[in-house]
Structure 1
Amino acid sequence: MSDQRVAVTGLGLVTPAGDSPQAVWETLCAGRSLAARDPALAGLSVDFSCQVSGFDAVTELGVRMSRRLDRFAHLGLAAARRAVRDAGLAPHEWAAERVGVVLGVSSNSLQTYAQEFSQLGGGRPSAVSPLALARSIPSQLAGEVAIDLGARGPNFVTTSACASSMTAIGVARDLIRAGTCDIVLTGGGESPRAPMNVACLTQMKALSRECPAGPGSASRPFDVDRGGLVLGEGAAVLALESAAHARARGARVRAFVRGYGASADAYHPIAPHPGGRGAEQALRSALADAGCAPADVDHVSAHGTGTRRGDAVEADVLLRVFGTPPVVTAAKSVVGHAMGAAGALATAFTLLAMEHQAVPPTANLAEQEAGRELDIPTGRHRRLPVGTAVVNAFGFGGQNAVLLLTAP
């Protein structure tokens, strides 16, 4: 069984909460939303988001690369570099054909496409940038990471809506367990802060407009007065290795990816199954894959978007599967919803919870729905042993993915 273990040996972060593990942890533990007015969304009925601040693509990647890539790739490539450094890996020394890259992206860059379509629609096809397609298709994120780091193993992105990066981590684990790779860089990057995204989600009535005390009060997962999601952005990349490979080079192990479950609701293009059929199937599959009972789990990182239906279904599933659920947190209350990158960000935050043996608070939670009460810390973090944790990610189309992590 030890040969089947898959270790997390590196963690790279570029998030609204910071770009180092310590900075991110401190911000999460402060328990305050980072939502603020967003200049990119000025004039729209929803004009706020959780933004990555202090990130300069030119400084991180150089002038040429920063111009050639879209923001989702800026964030993802920077996070991949950080993950490699954190793992103590040396790309010039690794067996490149045994190193894979599997990253989750839920969509291409609607901002770039909007600009280029305006050229075409205005009768100026010759003004369309020759780089528009290459910089915008989701697969470019994995391709650019491979080019930059010299990883010549399997290389692709997974696209399963807001479960995309969680799907990527599960597939990456399976590539290692199958013996195809020794190392896989996995996670995801996304920057959905584009007017077209916001316009679409506003028309769908998915975004929160309820901010009586300003944008910082708008993201309210599991609160009885929740009104929708708040967009965020960011990237999180994990370096996964087979336990044998990590042991052979004396690597530090942050955690083991022990269980993974995935499912489809097969119900509706947007709404979750009202009985949580697919979410429950994915959660039970992850537990079974890990050989764990519900009572073994110490902590759940909820998908927790702040939508009325989604949170209600997730709470029902947790109560049904666990009886008395373990301590739950909803990080989107602080960093917003990074769509395809959300699962990777939640996984990264859970790794930090395991490291610090504490669960961060959920922001803006004043009162839970009667009959759906979960054990959710508010105000400050709660110290407790976190040896086994579950991370949920659910997306449009009823695409579900659940990860189970165990401490080393």
Structure 2
Amino acid sequence: MRTHHEPARVVVTGIGAVAPNGLDAESAWAATSSGRSGIATLTDVELDGLTVTIGGEVTGFDPSAHLSRPDQRRLSRYAQLGVAAAREAMSAHVTDEGAPPFRSDRFSVLAASGYGPTEVTHLGTRSLGAKGPRGVSANGAVYGAHDSLSSYLSVEWHAQGPSHAVAAACASGTVGVGEGMRMVRHGYADAVLVVTAEHSLNVQDIAATANIRALATDSNDAPERGSRPFDRSRSGFVMSAGAAALLLESEASARDRGARVLAEVRGYGCSSDAHHATAPHPEGVGAQLAMRQALADAGCTPADVGYVNAHGTSTPYNDATELAAIAAVFGEHAHRVPISSTKSTTGHLIGAAGALEAIFCIQAMRDRMLPPTINLDDPEFPEFDLVPHVARTAAPELCMSNSFGFGGHNATVVLAGVAS
């Protein structure tokens, strides 16, 4: 067993995703890299009274393809999406009997989400009001928490290492990847399956987020244009559902079992603004700190970074603050490095966003293609290279992915490609 004195290199050997524009990792990447939006008018939400009627729904998802009928009833849609992404990430690694290739006590599952299975709480509250205490389902005690996803998967794959959940609002997915990386790097696990998921497309969560003026309210008639990061006309983010999973393991573990390495998680930084419940720090001090930490952890300089997947939510404050923070950290390189926001095609998957965007970075390095920022018709920040409208051929060796969230949460990962 490694100790904290012998840090291990941490590699990615599996990816999986369920997104508004694709039901698996490759479909989502094909759509995003070609600029196809997954945002549309909501069909599975009661829209009466809502000021926002668009979102990134996961359409065509069939839970029966992944879960038994009893498990479909027990697990929230948040967990169902997470299970699908996790199984895709693990698909090339389990035996014919469904067993993972890791020692049980050295394998962990880490779930990450911002909202978690809120619909379980909503349904329980309605049942309490309509039927009284006896009408409340007992399922809520187990399946109404963020860790219902990691618990379920740890049982499925007999993962006896630490398996739990983290929540850091919109930075949750990146925090999950970073903390999973640290678990492997410092010898607490040989492999960690990081699973991030979100399904907050319901009346309560949409209404609450719209009421704090965070959502785009001017695009109900043109859903695909709702998410337009860095554009002067941007008015807010578009809420989406989905999931993403990455299998992280030590380089030694991957080598010993002959696993295909997709990328390396080279660096991670995490910070808090300590400023406001929803607004980012006006000078982006927390965002700067997370990026600086990630670069230092990766042992690289800003000039080494060939692409930045921005948090880029399409809110007026976030976009301006993030670019100012990048300029402060990257210096002159800030105006040369390509930066794009894939949320322009997927919408904002909240707690799952960071993991999905880390996967997009891995695919960008693999395919030598930078995904575009669509809907960028009137750039407010023309001094930055924001990869407008269409993908671009490029071969970055290092990518940075940023995630910033309500509560002042900031997280950044630096990923490295593998030699072709």
TM band (smaller chain): over 0.9
| Equivalence for 2:311 | 303
SS of the equivalent of 1:181 reads coil
| Equivalence for 2:178 | 170
| Equivalence for 2:129 | 121
| Equivalence for 1:56 | 62
Offset of residue 369 of structure 1: 1.5
CA distance, structure 1, for counterparts of residue 131 and residue 67 of structure 2:
34
CA distance, structure 2, for counterparts of residue 315 and residue 37 of structure 1:
30
Q: Which is further off, 120-129 or 306-315?
A: 120-129
CA distance, structure 1, for counterparts of residue 239 and residue 193 of structure 2:
25
- CA spacing shift, 1:97–1:199, aligned 2, 3 Å: same
1:82 and 2:91 correspond = no
Offset of residue 109 of structure 1: 2.5
The residue type paired with residue 172 of structure 1 is G
- Structure 1 residues 265-344: aligned runs within 5 Å: 265-322=273-330, 323-325=332-334, 326-344=337-355
**Aligned 8 A contact 1:13 1:79 in 2:** yes
**Residue of structure 2 aligned with 1:356, choices 335, 357, 367:** 367
1:108 and 2:123 correspond = no
CA distance, structure 2, for counterparts of residue 282 and residue 348 of structure 1:
19
Give me the identity figure in percent: 38
SS of the equivalent of 1:354 reads helix
The residue type paired with residue 395 of structure 1 is G
CA distance, structure 2, for counterparts of residue 60 and residue 106 of structure 1:
23
- CA spacing shift, 1:308–1:92, aligned 2, 3 Å: closer
- Structure 1 residues 9-408: aligned runs within 5 Å: 9-39=13-43, 40-43=45-48, 44-87=50-93, 91=99, 93-122=101-130, 124-211=132-219, 214-322=222-330, 323-325=332-334, 326-370=337-381, 373-408=383-418
CA distance, structure 2, for counterparts of residue 35 and residue 395 of structure 1:
21
SS of the equivalent of 1:13 reads strand
Offset of residue 123 of structure 1: 5.0
CA distance, structure 1, for counterparts of residue 101 and residue 308 of structure 2:
37
**Aligned 8 A contact 1:9 1:86 in 2:** no
Task: Name the TM-score, length of structure 1 as normaliser.
Answer: 0.96
- CA spacing shift, 1:363–1:87, aligned 2, 3 Å: farther
- CA spacing shift, 1:212–1:3, aligned 2, 3 Å: closer
Offset of residue 30 of structure 1: 2.3
SS of the equivalent of 1:324 reads helix
**Aligned 8 A contact 1:303 1:392 in 2:** yes
SS of the equivalent of 2:90 reads helix
Offset of residue 260 of structure 1: 0.3
- CA spacing shift, 1:86–1:391, aligned 2, 3 Å: farther
The residue type paired with residue 319 of structure 2 is D
CA distance, structure 2, for counterparts of residue 86 and residue 221 of structure 1:
35
CA distance, structure 1, for counterparts of residue 401 and residue 240 of structure 2:
18
Q: Which is further off, 230-239 or 114-123?
A: 114-123
CA distance, structure 1, for counterparts of residue 238 and residue 93 of structure 2:
32
Q: Which runs of 5+ in 2 are unaligned?
A: none
**Aligned 8 A contact 1:110 1:196 in 2:** no
- CA spacing shift, 1:124–1:3, aligned 2, 3 Å: closer
CA distance, structure 2, for counterparts of residue 55 and residue 295 of structure 1:
41
Offset of residue 2 of structure 1: 9.7
**Aligned 8 A contact 1:101 1:146 in 2:** yes
Offset of residue 262 of structure 1: 0.4
**Aligned 8 A contact 2:8 2:187 in 1:** no
* CA deviation vs aligned residue, 1:202-253 (integer Å, no higher than 9, x gap): 1100000122751111111111110000011111110101000101111111
CA distance, structure 1, for counterparts of residue 196 and residue 411 of structure 2:
14
Offset of residue 87 of structure 1: 4.5
SS of the equivalent of 1:261 reads strand
CA distance, structure 2, for counterparts of residue 93 and residue 337 of structure 1:
34
Alignment root-mean-square deviation, CA:
1.7
| Equivalence for 1:7 | 11
**Aligned 8 A contact 1:3 1:244 in 2:** no
**Aligned 8 A contact 2:228 2:374 in 1:** yes
